[in-house]
Amino acid sequence: MVWVDLVTLLALVQFFLFAAAVSKARSRFGVHAPATTGHPLFERYFRVHQNTLELLVLFIPSMWLAVRYWYPTYIALIGVLFLLGRGWYFVAYVNDPKSRTGASALSFAAIGIFWVIVIIGIVRSMIAG
């Protein structure tokens, strides 16, 4: 379970770093809180952060449900795919939002794999009684 704990912590640290990037972009582009629009590059940083928040709500509980039904090491490795996808998404979206598709797909794939594992685990548990 320690690896799943580590991936959870890394996801939270990554989210924090994205928040720091938004803060830096606010200063750099003169977009003062509470504004969420302004300079197009600021908006890209902001959207990456918000999109990541939206997926964390799915990712973390899905990973923790999946670890109940499969090997923690494998679950952690799938979780790393999510982290890599989010890092790639950050770079892609800030540089050219149209290039984010592959990165987004990697993040969604990790969550989807977790859901498949959870569904199989629940069905097996129900059959076993």
Considering the chain, what is the average pLDDT of its residues?
97
pLDDT at 129 over 90: no
> pLDDT tier at 34 (50, 70, 90 boundaries)?
very high
The CA-atom distances, in angstroms, between 74 and each of 20, 24, 101 are: 30, 36, 25
pLDDT tens per residue across span 57-95:
999 999 999 999 999 999 999 999 999 999 999 999 999
18: Cβ contacts below 8 Å, ≥ 6 apart: 45, 48, 49, 52, 90
Identify which of 111, 46, 50 has the alpha carbon closest to the alpha carbon of residue 78. Answer: 111
pLDDT, average across residues 17-32? 98
Q: What is the CATH number of the domain that holds 35?
A: 1.20.120.550
How much of the chain, in percent, has pLDDT values that exceed 70? 100
Q: How many domains does the chain have?
A: 1
d(CA 107, CA 129): 33
Positive or negative, the Cα torsion across 84, 89, 91, 92? positive
Q: 98: domain range?
A: 2-128
Tokens (6 digits) for 55? 């997926």
DSSP state of 30: T
> pLDDT tier at 40 (50, 70, 90 boundaries)?
very high
pLDDT, average across residues 46-64? 98
